[in-house]
Copies of this chain bind each other. A is one copy, B any other.
């Protein structure tokens, strides 16, 4: 798990927010645990009311780690902008220069999570690869 560059970035970003030192004794697995929501668990989470702010914080961390990986892979700094309605749906953009490299529509964020760490990384890696392909296609826009 610690070899996966996306998971490494995500853990770096999570630990960077540990301003009180409370998570220093926690293992990587413990820090990633809230990102893992199995299909069965997901089905049991109601999508009524507002999702927990901690979930929105995890969504931001997840996309920030993607932005970080895009910058590592392409050299283009990716800047995130997320607009989430309090009921748990919205939109997340990552931009490099004048180029939109990731455009995700999000919904039912109450249930945000992944089956396991491997599938979280697979999904992120796919988004990162697509962003790198868009940058390779329009390099002058990404630099604009």
Contacts and interface: CB of A to CB of B under 8 A. Distances in A.
Copies, count: 2
What is the interface residue range for chain A against chain B?
10 to 19
Contacts of A100: 95, 97-100
Contacts of A82: 83
Contacts of A99: 98-100, 141
A85 interface: no
Interface string A92-109: 010101111101000000
A13 interface: no
Nearest to A95: B100
Contacts of A140: 138
Interface string A106-144: 000000000000000000000000000010001011001
